[in-house]
A and B are shown apart, each in its own frame.
Chain A
Amino acid sequence: MELSNLTIAEAKAKLVAKEISATDLVSDCVKQIEAHDEEVHAFLEVFKDDAFAQARIVDKKRTAGEELPELAGIPIGIKDNLLMAGKRATAGAQILEHHTAAYDATVVKRLKDAGAVLMGRLNMDDAAMGSSTETSHFGPTKNPWDLSRVPGGSSGGPAASTASRCVLGAFGTDTGGSIRQPASLCGVVGMKPTYGRVSRYGMIALSSSLDQIGPFARTVEDAATLLRIIEGRDEMDATSSYLDETTLAEFLKFEDVKGLRIGVPKEYFIDGMEAEVEKRVREVIALLESHGAEISEVSLPRTNVALEAYYIIQPAEASSNLARYDGMRYGLRATGESLADTYKITRGEGFGREVKRSIMTGTFVLSAGYVDAYYKKALAVRQLIREDFDKVLKSVDVILTPTSPTTAWPLGDKMNDPIKMYLADIFTVSVNLAGLPGISIPCGFANGLPVGFQLIGKAFDEATLFRVGHFYQSITEWHKASPWDK
C-alpha cells in the first residue's frame, strides 16, 4: 500500500537511491489490486507474472550498475484499446473478446523501451463509446470514491486504477473527453494532448480526426513525465508531428503565475451544473488570481452547438472505422447464407447496444440525401468552433473551465437516455473538435466526490498547461487525497 501511494517522481527517486526495488513497488501495486480491484473492476487482466519478471530485470540491471531508462520499474496501466503484442485487446467489445494483438502500439513500444512495468489491461466503454464505462462488455468499473457511482468514461479503468493506487499512472484515449472527464470524476490528473502530438498507431480507432492518446497520473509533474515518453513523430502515423526536443524542466519551469493571462469562458458556467462544482472551480480562479494571474471573461460563442457537431462527426467516423469488424480477418465470425448476411449477423452479434446506435447514427448522417445537412454542416461548425478558440487564445495564454458539469453519478442513472449521457461531455468535446490540448486537475470535493478543473491551451502548448497545473499543485493538497484514507 505505502509504495503504490508514491508519485512517479517520488518512486523514481527512491528507486535510483536504491531505497526500494522495482519488485517492492510492483508487489505493493499487486497487493493493492488484490485488495480493491474485485470491487472497483478497473482491470480486465492483471499481468502479474510479466510485471514481476520486468521488475526483476530492472532490479538486476540496477544492482549491476547499468544505466536505466526514464521509467525503469514504474508500474503503469494500459487502456484496453492500445495494442500490446501477444496480449488480448478487446476495446471493451464482445466482437474482440478473444482477439490477441499482433503488434505493439507505438505508445506501448515507447513505454517498454522506457522500462515501464505494464501492469495490465484496463476497462473501458464498449469500443470507447460512452461516458461512464458502463457499456463495457465485461461489466462496469466503479468509482473508488463511491462504489455505487460511475468512474466516468470511456477511460474509466485508467482513471479508477490511478485513483485507487493500483498503478502510478496509466494511459487512455480521449475522443470527446474520455481522459479528462473520468480523471475529473475520479480525482486524478488526465491530459489530452494536441491532435498529432502522440502517434495513434496501434490504437483501436473510434474517430480518427478526434482521437488522441494521453496520460493519467496523480500529479501534473507525473503526467508531463509520461507524455514526454510517448510523444513525437512516428512514421507509422502520418498525422503525428515532429516536435522540438522538450525536457521535463522546461515543462514545469513556472515558479508563479504572475502576469499569466487566464480566460474564463462565460459559456462554461451553465444552468444545470452542480453549484458545488462551480464553487470549486471559482475557488481555483480566485486562488490563481491571488498569485498574480490576470483573469478575464472570454466568450466561445459556438459552445452551445459543439456537442451537436460532435455527435454527428464522431458517429460518422466511428461507423466507418468499425466497418473493419466484419469477421473476416479477426474477431468473431458468424455464418450466414450470403456474404452480406455473414457480415450482418457477425456485426449484430458482436456489437453492443451503444455501438449499434452509434453506427446507425453515423450511417444516417453519411447517407445520400442527409450528408450535406448533417455531416458537412457539422464540419463547417467545427471550423467555426476552431476559429472561436483561435481568437480567444490570441488574447489569453490559457483557458480555464470546469471539466465536467457534475460529479460522479450513480451507476445506471443515464444509461437509457443517450442525450443525458452526452451532456456529461459538454465541456470537453470542443477541445477535440478544435484539436487543442486539455488537462483536468483535481480541485477539491463536492459532497465527498472529486471535482476537476480543465485548462485548455494553444495547439502544441502543453507546456503552459503543465506549468500552470504544476504551480497549482505546489500550493494545494487536493491531489494527495486518496479514496482509501476516508
Chain B
Amino acid sequence: MLMRPFRVLAAGAAIAVLAAACAPTETPQGRAVTAAWARAADSGATGGAYLTIVNHDSATVDLVSVATALAASAEVHESMQHDGMSHMMPRTSVSIGARDSLVMAPGGLHVMLNQLTRALAAGDSVPLTVRFSNGDSVLVRVPVRAP
C-alpha cells in the first residue's frame, strides 16, 4: 500500500483543475482565495469545503472566520490522524505567514458547513465570506463538486 503523499498530490490536482472555476478574490491588502471547492451534500446535512488562501502581503494575517447563508454555521476545522484514529478539532484562528499560503485539503484543514439550508449539488456554488484578523473579508463563490 502506498501512503500519504497522495493527499498533497490530489489536493494539487484539484486546485489546478478548479483554479479556473473559482476566480481569485482578493482583499485590498492582498489576501486572495485562489482556489476553492465544496462537496455535494444533502439539505440539513453537514457539508465540507476546501480553500486555498494566498497572503501576498508582507504581514502575517489570521483567518478568523467563514460564513455562508447556506448553512446554519460555518467553521474551520482540522482533521488529524493518530494511531489509526481520525480526530477533528475546531480552529478558531489559522495564521497565514507573510507571502505564504494556506492550503486546505482532505484529511487536514477544511471548512465545516453545519446544517445546510439546502442541498448542494455539483454545479451549484456556495457563497462564502472569509474574514481575516485585520478586519478584511472576501466573498468567494465556492463551486460544488460531485462527491
Tell me, yes or no, whether A binds B.
no
